[in-house]
Amino acid sequence: MTAHFDADVIVVGSGFGGAVTALRLAEQGQSVLVLEQGRRIGPEQIAAAKRNLFKLLWMPALGLRGFFAQTLFRHVGLVGGVGVGGGSLVWASVLLEPKPAFYQDPAWSQLGVDWHAELQPHYETAKRMLGRARNPRLTEMDELLRQTARTMGAEDSFGATPVGILFAGDGQLPGQRVPDPFFGGDGPERTTCRFCGSCLTGCAYGSKNSLDYNYLHLAQRHGARVLPEQQVVGLRPLHGGGYALRVRHPWRFGQGRELRARRVVLSAGVVGTLRLLFSARDAARSLPALSPRLGDGVRTNSEAIVAALHPDAQRDLSDGIAVSSDFYPNPHTHITQNRFPENYHFMRWYMTRLVDDDRPLRRALRTLWAGLKQPLWRNWFGRHWTRRISVLTVMQHLDNQLQLRFGRRWLAFGRRGLYSQAVPGHEAPTYIPEANAAARALAQACGGEAYNVAPESLFGTAVTAHILGGCRMGHSAADGVIDSDHEVHGYPGLYVMDGSVVAANLGVNPSLTITALAERFASRLASRLRESAA
């Protein structure tokens, strides 16, 4: 590296794609700089967030500098993590592989790559690095989900989830401090899981295998530098090769600074990566040759959120990990339960009466009428709500999508930004019949009430923690943003590696697949770098 560059490789974002890339390139002797707009989040910050909602939420414009972000578009509402470790901070730790149909999806099966065969060794690496283990403990909430599966004729598919959590081994106790169990002493000390059910707002005990305990920890041991509170707001190519990034503090005023690297990997998540690329193409015009397909094929993982509330105010269903069991009611639908931590009590205001209708306006009117006829007093004002609520995430591998575009928005006082568009005939669903059927069966099992969530039932807006797509692969810029090696068409040395490269709905939690894709990408890039240096 010469003094002209601040690093050989700058990675924008520290989630699954960025963390894997940082480690694998640092192992090859590349100087790596990871830029993360959020803060470093440790046990103290997580514990504080459990006591104070304002320390959990990420809304820097309002002075909220936590690590749980919510982003709302017309057609989809998103939740995710912000901080060193990205989405893994608020990740439920589920590590599932998609069904074979995912690899054969036309959105990427025409690239001449046997994705199923090529990703298998990388899935195995990802499982090892993320410490995948089967949840050893099923409790009352899981039994309710088993009854739900039985009612839907799918009990044979019910089981404990494979997750990235450290459980007590032989001779160990829950909550016990143990030496690094994964990386031969190169990793940090850990604490075995105590089944508190708070995975979704971070693990204050160090039991969840979030990226700061594996990939990022090891990357820094190999010399990678991770800089928090660094928001990338501009990107341009340099004459003679390489890229310059304009970086500023996410909540302080100032012009910021410029950082330069031979290569740049965008791993800022779907919204972050698309916002940066759209801005460079359409506003700054520093990357004018970016594909016209940018923002196409955005997926919600075909998800819906439903719930059921146990009627007994003294009942505590929170014993266990956040997502401890799942089942498949049919070949293209996957259902998990979710335990909400105590500081998720604000979610009660999202709930509405369960209503069936695939016509958004009619469903909204019926939902309002149902709420007037039978108000949700027990949901709104019942005691110990987070201990009694069972939330189901319903995911499908079906072909539906939306688009993200870039332009001036009146809600942003005319400033340019991302907005969503529906794709006629392929709209991302806000009503999934299997989801409502599961909610009814769950409510029947516990004797309680079943709910939809307001964005879906009142506003026709899908809700997901698993946004995907927008930087699809293609043979050229005419049909894709990147090639099958993740390099941006027309811009050598610029790569994308995050959920935006996933071309189809997985129908399961995507973290394991994104990690496997990142392992493949980093392996191929490292190989090319070795060849060019030889």
Q: Distance between terminal CA atoms of the chain?
A: 16
* CB-based contact 161:325 (threshold 8 Å): yes
- By CB neighbour count within 10 A (0-12 exposed, 13-18 middle, 19+ buried), where does 533 fall? exposed
Catalytic member of 466, 475, 486, 489:
466
* CB-based contact 81:89 (threshold 8 Å): yes
Q: Residue 224 and residue 34: Cα distance in Å, rounded?
A: 7
Phi and psi at 491, nearest 5°, equal -135, 85
Can you give the pTM of this predicted structure?
Answer: 0.96
Average pLDDT over every residue of 501-528: 97
* CB-based contact 463:77 (threshold 8 Å): yes
Q: Cβ contacts of residue 105 below 8 Å, gap of 6+?
A: 399, 503, 504
Closest Cα partner for 259 from 248, 272, 271? 248
Average pLDDT over every residue of 88-99: 97
310-368 pLDDT, tens digit per residue, is 999 999 999 999 999 999 999 999 999 999 998 899 999 999 999 999 999 999 999 99
Q: What is the mean pLDDT of the chain?
A: 96
Percent of the chain exceeding pLDDT 90 equals 93
The residues spanned by each domain of the chain are: 7-533
* Residue 408 confidence (pLDDT): 79
Average pLDDT over every residue of 416-436: 96
The dihedral built from the CA positions of residue 16, 21, 22 and 23, taken in this order, carries a sign that is positive
The yes-or-no answer on residue 116 being catalytic is no
Residue 436 host element (H or E): helix 433-446
- Secondary structure (DSSP) of 194-206: ---S-GGG--TTS
* CB-based contact 100:502 (threshold 8 Å): no
Looking at domain 7-533, does it have CATH number 3.50.50.60? Answer: yes
Burial 194-233 (b: 16+ CB within 10 A, else e): bbbbbbbbbbbbbbbbbbbbbbbbbbbebebebebbbbbe
Q: Residue 172 and residue 320: Cα distance in Å, rounded?
A: 17
* Residue 414 confidence (pLDDT): 67
Q: Cβ contacts of residue 136 below 8 Å, gap of 6+?
A: 160, 167
- Amino acid residing at 65: R
- Amino acid residing at 322: A
pLDDT of residue 534 exceeding 80: no
